[in-house]
Amino acid sequence: MAALLKRAGARLNAADSFGFTPLQLASFHGNLAVLTFLLQSVGRSRIQLQKLLDHQDLQIKSSALHCAIEGHQAGAVVELLMNGASYRVQVRVAPRVCAWAPRRGRAWS
C-alpha cells in the first residue's frame, strides 16, 4: 500500500494535525515492512534521513524511536537505531510518549 501511495505522488513524510509522520506511526505499531519502506524511500541523502528520524510531533516532541519504545516494538527500535536514529532527542513529557497515536483503529489513551 505504501508503494502504491508513493507511485501516486503521496508525501510519505507528511505529518498529521498532531505532527505525527507515517514513520512514527509505523514505529509505534511495529509495522516493519512499512517502516523499512519509508526509510528506504528517503533516498540516499543522509541529511533527509536524519531529518525524518529526528522529526518530533507537535505536542510531546517524540521521535520515531520514542514511538517504537512506547509501543514496545523491539524490532522497530533496532531498525531505527541501525538507520541512525538518535537516542539523544529529548521529549517534553516522558511518560506516554505516543499517547495520541491511533492504536488498532481507536485512540490510545
Domain extent listing, the chain: 20-107
User: Which percentage of the chain shows pLDDT scores above 70?
Assistant: 72
d(CA 5, CA 24) in angstroms, rounded, equals 17
Task: CATH number for 20-107: choose from 1.10.10.10, 3.40.50.300, 3.20.20.140, 1.25.40.20.
Answer: 1.25.40.20
Average pLDDT across the chain, whole number:
78
Picking from 100, 6, 35, 26, the residue whose alpha carbon sits closest to that of residue 61 is 100
The string of pLDDT tens digits covering residues 52-93 is: 888 888 887 889 998 999 999 999 999 999 998 887 777 665
pLDDT band at residue 15, thresholds of 50, 70 and 90? Answer: confident
Which residue has better confidence, 10 or 47? 47
Q: Quick check: 6 pLDDT over 70?
A: no
